[in-house]
């Protein structure tokens, strides 16, 4: 079966998934979607006895079927090997009466590794023997940047440029990016927020004059953000795998519905849960967990998406997002593929900062999605109680989700809390949450103290950042991002 992808804002110009992955974002600013989603479903009974690699094979074959079985097989083998510190890749462990899906066992200690260890392989296959080289341009709220750098560093025929909001990521996240080695990498802080970075990156992709100049150098731009369908589909796998682990543990039987609570920013992770549901996974509720930047919580209450509000810097920076890009895909499926309406809403969002979908569609959305938010104080309290009561150390993003789960009684369904980052990425905030003084301590001093207090070792890839040489110190205004990309391209693809 051939799956064709096309823009959310335009039903025309079908692409194969390889083309969609190479392009990243559609020229009209839309995101690539497939109308075949859900036509082919997974055999859940068979999934239960498969390991992560086999499940990944089956899920990817359904969502990106123009890749051959051999191609997918080799991508999956290369992506999920010793670079993850456990053969389970995404182990599921008990969390009180709920479950914790540990997604941060990859090389950069955040869930983004699950997709970004695979994406470069998918791109290399899609590129084939083509002369065209790819410059990945990515905006990051903290974790995508490092995961993209780690995935693409020194990958033949590719370069990667990462923009992060200067001063709005943790010290460890900052060092993870600025110490990145590789001859094909560029990193730049931006004077602005993540939303500024993301908006500007989208403009860069839409800048035809720029793309023509780069084309002259034999370079095409692409995205490693979750707007790229190649970022999204690998994330579907772990929902299915988590379900299989639940069945194997005896917690559920095949067919039982399971709720997933997802710390949410750009809506990529939780959207992958929706894709899994469309593939036949018995998903009960998808709980959209937000921090104080609670645009989605409000949206799921009122049906009105309103980004006209102050941006709040929280202790879960990877969720400090007011424009959740992947929500556009959800709107597409919610309207049964009404590109015109989706395009009109996105135009309203861009010009007026708000759009409304009306009660009927909101009702449909709420059949699956449910949203709440947690404040920083609540999040800190959850980190502390989870440590004191369960002896499990969770990061602030995961704690946002757990806060929301803890507010609700069990309704009989199993509940899975997605754990999206290792706590040692945010050592100061986690240490403070445990009730300790962090005054005057840098992230490494906090890391030491956390290790001493908890007896849990910091991952090597974070502790060794201490003393690693800083390779990147560029900072630019958001208006200068396009020219940064152009000069990075010139340097990398000489």
Ligand X SMILES: *Cc1c(COP(=O)(O)O)cnc(C)c1O
Q: Give the residues lining the site for ligand X (CB under 6 A).
A: 110, 112, 143, 226, 263-269, 318-319, 397, 420-421
Task: Please work out, in degrees rounded to the nearest 5, the angle formed at the alpha carbon of residue 395 by the alpha carbons of 149 and 430.
Answer: 115
Choice between 214 and 322, CB closer to ligand X: 322
Q: What φ, ψ does residue 207 adopt, rounded to 5°?
A: -85, 95
The b-or-e profile of 64-76 (16+ CB within 10 A means b, else e) is: bbbbeeebbbebb
Choice between 184 and 318, CB closer to ligand X: 318
Choice between 147 and 210, CB closer to ligand X: 147
Choice between 42 and 227, CB closer to ligand X: 227
Minimum separation from the CB atom of position 390 to ligand X (A)? 20
Q: Is 478 a catalytic residue?
A: no
Q: Which of 18, 112, 202, 277 is catalytic?
A: 112
Choice between 318 and 382, CB closer to ligand X: 318
Strand order of the β-sheet with 185-191 is: 219-222, 133-139, 158-165, 185-191, 474-477
Count of other CB atoms within 10 angstroms of residue 358: 9
Q: Judge residue 375's burial from the number of C-beta atoms within 10 Å of its C-beta, 0-12 exposed, 13-18 middle, 19 or more buried.
A: middle
Choice between 226 and 386, CB closer to ligand X: 226
Both tokens of 195, joined, read: 């939303």
Minimum separation from the CB atom of position 329 to ligand X (A)? 12
Choice between 223 and 264, CB closer to ligand X: 264
Strand order of the β-sheet with 283-290 is: 92-95, 98-102, 414-419, 258-263, 283-290, 369-373
Largest CA distance in the chain: 60
Catalytic sites, residue numbers:
112
């Amino acid at each position: 079966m051939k799956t064709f992808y096309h823009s959310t804002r335009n039903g025309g110009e079908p692409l194969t998934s390889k083309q969609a992955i190479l392009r990243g974002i559609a020229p009209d600013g839309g995101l690539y979607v497939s109308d075949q989603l859900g036509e082919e479903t997974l055999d859940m009974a068979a999934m239960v006895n498969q390991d992560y690699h086999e499940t990944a094979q089956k899920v990817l074959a359904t969502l990106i079927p123009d890749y051959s079985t051999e191609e997918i097989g080799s991508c999956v083998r290369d992506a999920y090997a010793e670079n993850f510190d456990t053969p389970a890749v995404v182990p599921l462990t008990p969390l009180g009466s709920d479950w914790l899906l540990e997604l941060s066992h990859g090389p950069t200690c955040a869930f983004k590794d699950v997709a970004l260890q695979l994406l470069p392989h998918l791109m290399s296959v899609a590129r084939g023997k083509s002369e065209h080289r790819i410059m990945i341009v990515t905006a990051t709220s903290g974790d995508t940047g490092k995961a993209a750098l780690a995935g693409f560093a020194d990958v033949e025929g590719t370069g990667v440029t990462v923009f992060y909001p200067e001063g709005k990521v943790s010290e460890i996240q900052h060092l993870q990016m600025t110490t990145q080695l590789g001859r094909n990498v560029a990193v730049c802080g931006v004077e602005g927020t993540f939303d500024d970075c993301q908006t500007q990156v989208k403009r860069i992709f839409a800048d035809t004059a720029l793309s023509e100049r780069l084309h002259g150098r034999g370079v095409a731009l692409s995205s490693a953000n979750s707007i790229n369908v190649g970022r999204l589909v690998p994330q579907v796998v772990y929902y299915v795998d988590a379900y299989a682990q639940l069945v194997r543990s005896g917690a559920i039987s095949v067919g039982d519905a399971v709720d997933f609570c997802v710390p949410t920013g750009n809506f990529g992770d939780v959207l992958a849960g929706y894709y899994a549901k469309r593939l036949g996974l018995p998903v009960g509720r998808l709980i959209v967990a937000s921090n104080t930047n609670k645009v989605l919580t409000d949206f799921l209450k009122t049906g009105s998406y309103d980004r006209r509000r102050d941006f709040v810097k929280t202790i879960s920076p990877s969720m400090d997002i007011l424009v959740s890009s992947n929500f556009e895909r959800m709107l597409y499926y919610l309207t049964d593929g009404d590109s015109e309406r989706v395009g009109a809403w996105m135009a309203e969002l861009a010009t007026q900062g708000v759009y409304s979908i009306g009660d009927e569609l909101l009702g449909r959305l709420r059949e699956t999605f449910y949203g709440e938010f947690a404040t920083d104080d609540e999040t800190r309290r959850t980190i502390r109680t989870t440590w004191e009561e369960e002896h499990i150390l969770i990061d602030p993003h995961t704690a946002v989700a757990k806060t929301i789960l803890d507010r609700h009684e069990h309704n009989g369904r199993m509940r899975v809390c997605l754990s999206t980052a290792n706590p040692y990425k945010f050592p100061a905030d986690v240490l403070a949450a445990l009730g300790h003084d962090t005054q005057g301590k840098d992230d490494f001093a906090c890391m030491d103290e956390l290790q001493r207090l908890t007896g849990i070792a910091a991952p090597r890839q974070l502790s060794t950042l201490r003393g690693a040489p800083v390779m990147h110190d560029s900072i630019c205004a958001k208006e200068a991002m396009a020219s940064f990309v152009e000069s990075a391209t010139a340097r990398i693809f000489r």
